[in-house]
Amino acid sequence: MTKVENNKAWWLVMPVFLIVAFSAIIPLMTVVNYSVQDIFDPYTRYFVGTEWFKQVMTDSRLHDALIRQFIYSFTILAIEIPLGIAVALMMPTKGRGASLALILVAIPLLIPWNVVGTIWQIFGRADIGLFGAMMAELGINYNYASEPMHAWLTVVLMDVWHWTPLVALLCYSGLRAIPEVYYQAARIDKASRWAVFRYIQLPKLTNVLIIGVLLRFMDSFMIYTEPFVLTGGGPGTSTTFLSQSLVQQAIGQFDLGPAAAFSLVYFLIILLVCWVFYTTIMNMQKDK
Amino acid sequence: MSLTLNNVSRVVDGETWIDNVNLSLEPGSFNVLLGRTLSGKTTLMRLMAGLDRPTNGQIMMNGVDVTGVPVRERNISMVYQQFINYPNMTVYDNIASPLRLAKMSNSEIDRRVRETAEMLRIDSYLDRMPLQLSGGQQQRTAMARALVKDSQVILFDEPLVNLDYKLREELRQELRALFKARNCIAVYATTEPNEALALSGNTAVLHEGKLLQFGETAEVYHRPKDIITAEMFSEPPINVVPGRVSETEVTFDETVHFQLNNDLRPLEPGNYRFGVRASHIGLVPRSDDDLELPVQVDLAEISGSETFLHVHNPHFDLVLHLSGVHEYHVDQQIKVYFPTHKLYAFNESGRLVHAPAGLGGR
- Asked if the C-beta of B71 comes within 8 angstroms of chain A's C-beta atoms, the answer is yes
Residue B57: half-sphere exposure toward Cβ, Cα within 13 Å: 23
pLDDT tens-place values along chain A, 288 residues long: 566 777 788 888 889 989 988 888 888 888 888 888 887 777 777 888 788 888 888 888 888 888 888 999 999 999 999 999 999 999 988 888 888 999 999 999 998 888 888 888 888 887 788 888 888 888 888 787 788 888 888 889 889 999 999 999 999 999 999 988 899 888 888 888 898 998 889 988 988 888 898 889 888 888 888 888 877 777 777 777 888 888 877 777 777 888 888 888 888 988 898 888 888 877 876 655
The letter for the amino acid at B286 is R
The answer to whether B130 faces chain A, any CB pair under 8 Å, is: no
Q: Is B13 on the interface with A (CB under 8 A)?
A: no
φ and ψ at residue B27, rounded to 5 degrees: -60, 140
User: How far apart, in whole angstroms, are the C-alpha atoms of residue A177 and residue A175?
Assistant: 5
- Structural element, H or E, at residue B144: helix B135-148
Q: Are residues B24 and B48 in contact, defined by beta-carbon separation less than 8 angstroms?
A: no
C-alpha R_g of chain A: 24
First to last CA, chain B: 34
Of B107, B56, B51, B91, nearest to B74 (Cα)? Answer: B51
DSSP category for residue B73: G
B333 or B263: which leads in pLDDT: B333
Is the ipTM beyond the 0.85 threshold? no
Q: Quick one: which of B303, B300, B309 has its CA closest to B239?
A: B309
Report the alpha-carbon distance of residue B99 to residue A189 in Å, rounded.
9
10 Å Cβ neighbour count for A146? 11
Beta bridge partners of B154: B77, B186
Residue B164 Cα to chain centre, angstroms: 18
Q: Find chain A residues with C-beta within 8 A of B45's C-beta.
A: none
Q: Which of B49, B89, B101 sits opposite A190 (nearest CB)?
A: B101
- pLDDT(B37) > 60: yes
Amino acid identity of residue A5, one-letter, is: E
Q: What are phi and psi of B142, to 5 degrees?
A: -60, -40
- % of chain B at pLDDT higher than 70: 99
Percentages (nearest 5) of helix, strand, coil residues in chain A: 75, 5, 20
- pLDDT one-digit tens code per residue, B292-348: 888 899 988 888 888 899 998 888 888 999 888 888 888 888 888 888 888 888 988
Burial (CB count within 10 angstroms: exposed 0-12, middle 13-18, buried 19+), residue B333: exposed
> How large is the average pLDDT for residues B254-272?
80
d(CA B143, CA B170): 14
Domains and CATH numbers, chain B: 3-226 (3.40.50.300), 239-354 (no CATH)
Q: Are B101 and A191 an interchain contact pair (Cβ–Cβ within 8 Å)?
A: yes
Interchain contact B103–A (C-beta under 8 A): no
- List the single residue in A181, A187, A189 with the smallest CB-CB distance to B82: A181
Neighbours of B18 (CB within 10 A): 28
B167-185 tens-digit pLDDT: 888 888 888 888 877 888 9
Please give the pLDDT value at position B361: 41
Phi-psi region of A193 (alpha: psi -120 to 50; beta: other; left: phi over 0): alpha
Q: What angle do CA A267, A268, A271 make, to 5 degrees?
A: 90
For position B96, what pLDDT does the model report?
92
Task: Say if the Cβ atoms of B71 and A188 lie within 8 Å.
Answer: yes
Contact between A65 and A241 under an 8 Å Cβ cutoff? The reply is yes
What's the gap in Å between the CA of A197 and the closest CA on chain B?
11
Contacts of A195 in chain B (CB under 8 A): 101
CA distance linking residue A198 with residue B58, whole number of Å: 36
Nearest CA-CA distance, residue A195 and chain B, Å? 10
Query: What is the per-residue pLDDT for A288?
Result: 52
Mean pLDDT of chain B: 87
Minimal C-alpha gap between B108 and chain A (Å)? 18
Q: Which residues of B touch A200 (CB under 8 A)?
A: 86-87
Answer whether residue B362 shows pLDDT above 50: no
Using an 8 Å CB-CB cutoff, list chain B residues near A190: 72, 98, 101-102
**Number of helices (H) and strands (E), helices first, in chain A?**
14, 2
pLDDT at A287: 59
Cα–Cα distance measured from residue B362 to residue B359, given in angstroms and rounded to the nearest whole number: 9
pTM given for the model: 0.77
Bridge partners of B213?
B205
Contacts of A104 (CB under 8 A, 6+ apart): none
Q: Write down the architecture of domain A60-287 according to CATH.
A: Orthogonal Bundle (1.10)
Q: CA of B93, closest CA in chain A: separation in Å?
A: 11
Among the ranges given (A30-34, B3-7, B126-130, B186-190), the one the predictor scored with the smallest mean pLDDT: A30-34
Q: Which residues of A touch B100 (CB under 8 A)?
A: none
pLDDT at residue B358, rounded to an integer: 62
What percentage of chain B has pLDDT greater than the value 90?
A: 31
